[in-house]
């Protein structure tokens, strides 16, 4: 029995990970691996990006948030790799805009932009790409327009795609006309590209053969139309058979042509040990770079590919990765307590935000400070992986750094004592009309206690209703999910159960509430989105099934599987197989996995206008807004505290805003600049207060809708609070979800 190999890991750890809904890869180790791979991508050729993407995707869900946090500062190649990895992790909401930015980026190489467009076509639906039509028209590079136009067809916008391709047939560039003609033929419109296809058909090339097949198919279609398609006529029947055969051949040729040029194209063939042995031997004997033919490294890569092909959550950790995982759970390293990144303009290590409970903040470091040296070595030109490794160390050890801040005449030296950093997973606030807000970022070991403390505090403040925010919560411990759900449900309620194929490894397990609800049954809304996964889906789905809460937001991620860690005897336990062995099911019997939980009220975040992306990047890189905030902060401290909470959409509330906007010389309109300025104000106020804002009621559409639902449950109109009255007009449609019949799936009713 495979489970007998578990002693390669501590027994308690092995059992705990059975209940770990999300990936168990170490967050710190994953962060470093993401940094390393993205740095590799920046220097890789377009053809070399595919292997890096596969390595990123193999890290599993823990890599998702680090990837998203890196997106704004990435080069086009690295952003493409990050977008594809996020697509593979099913985080379409973050991946699609990132890929679209690469398509639209004129600084990127044409092959990279084409690959980004093809990525959108593979992974997206029409609803995921609202600005694509505008994007295609704005693209100046014709080959990129061809790829983007094909995406329109793949996501169901046939007419727009065909029209865009027809326009490209008039250009002077021969390769553009050829690609547009083949794309039109692929979309079933060979007639529109007949002249160009005829020219291509004379070439003794793969695309020439493809053009000839398309023209022949078009001819056969015309003959069928002339005969009226009479099925009883033998001649017509033969034409139909020929057409079917040619259609298959065309599809085969098209697939082979695509795999010949696409990086990482799949190679077919029998997957047996003889094949693997032969390939391994040929690579070791003939491959040009002997340094890359190490036997163990090739075997590790083959095993990673095998396990990674099963699902996004199964993976193979080699000896180094297994050792890193064991180190991470031992808590044997510490840091300065800051979220850092490489600044895209000056390439220096930059503090994005200090962790307000950490030593860096207590020493006086603040957001956007540049760390210019670590232990006497300049941070310029170094990778994020190299720099983070120098900042990390054992708890209680010292690290010496130099820091520069705008407004200082010279760098300043700091000696910081490293600490083991524990991040709070819960934030709370009181919203209009006594509506409590509680966000939970992960279901870690402290989550239950933190949630309990926050609930008691909110109840002491007079909470009458509750918003539980599980957006972008990737999951964590099953026990934490069960205990938190238990706080809101009555005795004897099923929360979740798991069941696998092999009962010896994954027997059916049921998790029930253990007592009466420990908190008053106030009206409740749960916020979810496409990055709410695993334990988040268990809690939100159980509360929905038992009609305890209304779910607002977007369809959740769909990660409802159990991974088991198996120590491998072939490496004497030094490597680990992380394998999906079971799935989770909600009380109604519905599976979370690859489906997710649908909200009762769908509220999508506002789409991002691709036209503002480039000028917005320039504005952020300029530092002009941060300079404005610093120049005015001391004199306007009280006003800025107020604006950070709510500025009512009024740019005039910011002193000298019109002069600031004029000085920026930007194409961004006043309201976009106002929102960006408010973000700079909020970052500065957070530094001043020493804690993060729990929420942003002014800009968060999903939170606003949740508040409106709860106001209705409390029998209050939106004008019960000025803030709610201000944002209520932004929300069309009923404030309540439609009530489900008692015998509907899960027996759910609107609570």
Q: What residues are annotated to the active site?
A: 534, 545, 559
Q: What's the Cα-to-Cα distance from 694 to each of 349, 422, 425, 639, 727, rounded to whole Å?
A: 27, 17, 11, 19, 19
Give me Rg for the CA atoms of the chain.
Answer: 28
Per residue, the 3-state secondary structure of 318-386, as one string, reads CHHHHHHHHHHHHCCCEECCEEEEECCCCCCEEEEEECCCCHHHHCCCCCCCEEEEECCEECCCCCHHH
Half-sphere exposure of 295 (CA within 13 A, CB side): 4
Task: Please answer whether residues 137 and 164 qualify as being in contact, where contact means their C-beta atoms are separated by less than 8 angstroms.
Answer: yes
Residue listed under structure tokens 């106030």:
522
Q: How much of the chain is helix, strand and coil, in % rounded to 5?
A: 50, 15, 35
Task: Please answer whether residues 703 and 437 qualify as being in contact, where contact means their C-beta atoms are separated by less than 8 angstroms.
Answer: yes
Residue listed under structure tokens 């700091």:
414
Angle between helices 624-633 and 613-622 (to 10 degrees): 50
How far is CA 607 from its chain centroid?
16
Task: Please answer whether residues 484 and 447 qualify as being in contact, where contact means their C-beta atoms are separated by less than 8 angstroms.
Answer: yes
**Adjacent-strand bridge partners of 109:** none
Q: What is the DSSP letter of 263?
A: T
Task: Please answer whether residues 575 and 534 qualify as being in contact, where contact means their C-beta atoms are separated by less than 8 angstroms.
Answer: no
The C-alpha angle with vertex 69 and arms to 138 and 264, in degrees rounded to 5, equals 65
User: What pairing do the DSSP bridges indicate for beta strands 524-528 and 550-553?
Assistant: parallel
Residue listed under structure tokens 């369809």:
555
Task: Please answer whether residues 535 and 481 qualify as being in contact, where contact means their C-beta atoms are separated by less than 8 angstroms.
Answer: yes
Phi, psi for residue 461 in degrees, rounded to 5: -85, 0
- Distance between first and last Cα of the chain: 46
From the CB of residue 423, how many other CB atoms can be counted at a distance below 10 Å?
Answer: 14
Q: Is the dihedral of CA 261, 262, 263, 268 positive or negative?
A: negative
């Amino acid at each position: 029995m495979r489970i007998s190999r578990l002693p390669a890991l501590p027994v308690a750890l092995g059992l705990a990970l059975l209940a770990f809904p999300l990936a168990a890869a170490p967050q710190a180790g994953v962060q470093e691996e993401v940094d390393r791979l993205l740095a590799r991508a920046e220097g890789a050729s377009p053809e070399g990006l595919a292997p890096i993407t596969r390595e990123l995707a193999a890290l599993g869900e823990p890599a998702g948030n680090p990837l998203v946090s890196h997106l704004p500062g990435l080069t086009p190649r690295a952003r493409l790799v990050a977008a594809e990895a996020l697509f593979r992790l099913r985080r379409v909401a973050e991946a699609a805009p990132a890929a679209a930015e690469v398509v639209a980026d004129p600084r990127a190489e044409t092959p990279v932009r084409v690959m980004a467009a093809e990525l959108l076509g593979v992974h997206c639906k029409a609803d995921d790409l609202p600005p694509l039509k505008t994007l295609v028209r704005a693209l100046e590079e014709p080959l990129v327009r061809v790829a983007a136009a094909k995406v329109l067809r793949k996501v169901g916008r046939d007419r727009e795609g065909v029209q865009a391709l027809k326009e490209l047939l008039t250009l002077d560039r021969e390769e553009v006309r050829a690609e547009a003609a083949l794309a039109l033929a692929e979309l079933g419109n060979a007639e529109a590209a007949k002249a160009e296809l005829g020219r291509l058909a004379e070439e003794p090339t793969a695309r020439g053969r493809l053009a000839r097949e398309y023209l022949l198919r078009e001819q056969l279609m015309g003959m069928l139309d002339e005969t009226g398609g009479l099925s009883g006529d033998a001649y017509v029947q033969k034409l139909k058979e020929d057409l079917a055969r040619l259609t298959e051949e065309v599809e085969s040729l098209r697939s082979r042509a695509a795999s010949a040029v696409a990086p990482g194209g799949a190679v077919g063939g029998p997957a047996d040990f003889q094949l693997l042995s032969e390939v391994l031997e040929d690579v070791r004997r003939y491959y040009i770079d002997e340094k890359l033919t190490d036997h163990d490294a090739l075997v590790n890569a083959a095993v990673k590919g095998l396990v990674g092909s099963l699902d996004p959550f199964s993976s193979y950790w080699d000896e180094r990765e297994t050792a890193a995982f064991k180190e991470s759970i031992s808590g044997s390293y510490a840091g300065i307590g800051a979220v850092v990144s490489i600044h895209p303009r000056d390439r220096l290590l930059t503090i994005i935000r200090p962790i307000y409970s950490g030593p860096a903040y207590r020493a006086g470091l603040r957001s956007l400070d540049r760390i210019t040296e670590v232990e006497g070595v300049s941070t310029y030109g170094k990778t994020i992986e190299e720099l983070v490794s120098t900042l990390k160390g054992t708890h209680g050890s010292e690290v010496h750094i130099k820091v520069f801040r705008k407004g200082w005449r010279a760098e300043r030296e700091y000696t910081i004592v490293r600490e083991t950093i524990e991040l709070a997973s819960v934030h709370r606030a009181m919203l209009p009309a006594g509506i409590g807000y509680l966000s939970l970022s992960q279901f870690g070991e402290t989550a239950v206690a933190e949630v309990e403390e926050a609930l008691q505090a909110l109840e002491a403040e007079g909470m009458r209703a509750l918003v539980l925010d599980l957006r972008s919560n990737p999951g964590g411990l099953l026990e934490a999910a069960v205990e938190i759900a238990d706080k809101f449900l009555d005795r004897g309620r099923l929360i979740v159960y798991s069941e696998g194929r092999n009962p010896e490894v994954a027997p059916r397990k049921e998790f029930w509430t253990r007592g009466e609800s420990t908190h008053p049954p106030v009206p409740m809304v749960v916020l979810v989105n496409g990055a709410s996964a695993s334990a988040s889906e268990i809690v939100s789905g159980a509360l929905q099934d038992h009609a305890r809460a209304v779910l607002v937001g977007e369809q959740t991620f769909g990660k409802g599987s159990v991974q088991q860690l198996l120590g491998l005897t072939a490496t004497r336990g030094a490597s680990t197989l992380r394998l999906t062995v079971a799935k989770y099911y909600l009380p109604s019997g519905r599976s979370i996995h690859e489906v997710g939980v649908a909200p009762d009220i769908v509220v999508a975040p506002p789409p991002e206008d691709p036209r503002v992306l480039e000028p917005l990047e320039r504005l952020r890189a300029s530092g002009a807004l941060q300079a404005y905030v610093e120049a005015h902060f001391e004199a306007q401290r009280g006003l800025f505290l107020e604006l950070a909470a709510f500025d009512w959409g009024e740019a005039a509330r910011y002193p000298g805003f019109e002069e600031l906007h004029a000085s920026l010389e930007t194409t961004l309109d006043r309201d976009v600049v106002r929102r960006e300025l408010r973000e700079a104000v909020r970052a500065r106020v957070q530094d001043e207060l020493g804690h993060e804002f729990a929420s942003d009621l002014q800009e968060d559409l999903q939170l606003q809708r949740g508040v409106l639902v709860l106001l209705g449950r409390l029998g209050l109109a939106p004008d019960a609070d000025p803030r709610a009255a201000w944002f209520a007009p932004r929300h069309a449609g009923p404030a309540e979800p439609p009530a489900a019949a008692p015998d509907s799936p899960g027996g759910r009713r609107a609570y």
